[in-house]
């Protein structure tokens, strides 16, 4: 059984970086946990977190709820950016 916290981390509406998390984990597993082999994955994950954290903070300042856009809404935001 997954804990409530683990379920939240897997929820695409709550965690915008599930794909990046999974790719990083897979890279680490495939490369015997040699972090230097997965630098690009760590960078993509960090960029994802920083980007969506910025969006979330902006929405919080503007009083927009929910603070984290849903998975569908995030897709539209990314599409609008090209």
Average pLDDT (29-57) is: 97
Show the beta-strand stretches assigned E in the chain: none
> Which residues, in sequence order, are CB contacts of 49 under 8 Å at separation 6+?
17
Over 90: is that where the pLDDT of 13 sits?
no
**8 Å CB contact between 71 and 11:** no
DSSP 36: G
Q: In this prediction, what percent of the chain has a pLDDT beyond 90?
A: 80
Over 90: is that where the pLDDT of 1 sits?
no
Over 90: is that where the pLDDT of 29 sits?
yes
Q: Which of 23, 48, 51 is nearest to 37 (CA)?
A: 23
**What pLDDT does residue 42 have?**
97
Q: What angle do CA 50, 54, 56 make, to 5 degrees?
A: 115
Average pLDDT (78-82) is: 92
């Amino acid at each position: 059984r997954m804990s409530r916290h683990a379920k939240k981390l897997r929820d695409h509406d709550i965690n915008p970086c599930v794909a990046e998390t999974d790719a990083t984990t897979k890279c680490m597993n495939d490369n015997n946990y040699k972090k230097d082999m997965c630098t690009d994955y760590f960078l993509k994950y960090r960029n994802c977190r920083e980007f969506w954290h910025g969006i979330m903070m902006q929405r919080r300042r503007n009083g927009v709820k929910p603070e984290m856009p849903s998975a569908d809404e995030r897709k539209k935001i990314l599409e609008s950016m090209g």
